[in-house]
Amino acid sequence: MSETASKPLQIYVDADACPVKNEIYRVAERHGLKVFIVSNSPIAVPRERWIERVVVGAGLDVADDWIAERAGRGDIVVTADVPLAGRSVKAGATVIAPNGKPFDDDSIGMTLATRNLLHELRSAGAVTGGPKAFEPRDRSRFLSALDRAIVRIRRADSHR
């Protein structure tokens, strides 16, 4: 039996600024999945046995490190954090931004390069603007992307 087939699909959520936690709960309940809500400070979560709230210590990238050390092939990571997305993709996890944008082997290199360039420009004093505002259609795109990812992972697991 492969390692992936022996462990259940789990969802890891970089939760501090995640606008789609309620959507994740609904989808996870429907599919019977375990969800880890990872944050630097306590966040209210439903009291369900399949939802685990993980509060990590304060500090830069502590929540990201917790997720990156655990998520791998057959798991889903929900994050808008590009470096965490890169680490998670490298570990084999399926990664989805809260706006529904997937991060994968094909897109993560360019996404990281763009992020690093914008960071350098901001450090030099350039005004680059911020991320686009979260819109209702982003929620819909996210729900579709999450459902597709779950089906794809389960289909791949059933063929092993």
Q: How far apart are the C-alpha atoms of 12 and 149, rounded to whole Å? A: 13
pLDDT of residue 105: 73
Please answer whether residues 74 and 155 qualify as being in contact, where contact means their C-beta atoms are separated by less than 8 angstroms: no
Q: How far apart are the C-alpha atoms of 116 and 142, rounded to whole Å? A: 25
Q: What is the pLDDT of residues 61-110, one digit of tens each?
A: 899 999 999 999 999 999 999 889 999 999 999 999 999 999 987 776 55
pLDDT of residue 1: 38
Amino acid present at 13: V
Q: What is the pLDDT of residues 12-62, one digit of tens each?
A: 999 988 999 999 999 999 999 999 999 999 999 999 999 999 999 888 889
Higher pLDDT, 41 or 130: 41
Amino acid present at 136: P
Q: How far apart are the C-alpha atoms of 14 and 62, rounded to whole Å? A: 11
Domains and CATH numbers, the chain: 3-104+138-158 (3.40.50.720)
pLDDT of residue 2: 42
Element (H, E) at 6: helix 3-6
Q: What percent of the chain has pLDDT over 90?
A: 64
Give the confidence band of 127 by pLDDT, cuts at 50, 70, 90.
low
Q: Where are the alpha helices (DSSP H) in 9-135?
A: 21-31, 62-70, 82-90, 105-123
Is the model's pLDDT at 3 over the cut of 60? Answer: no
Residues with Cβ < 8 Å from 76, sequence gap 6 or more? Answer: 9, 10, 11, 12, 93, 94, 95, 96, 146, 149, 150, 153
For residue 96, what are its two tokens?
């989805």
- pTM here is 0.83
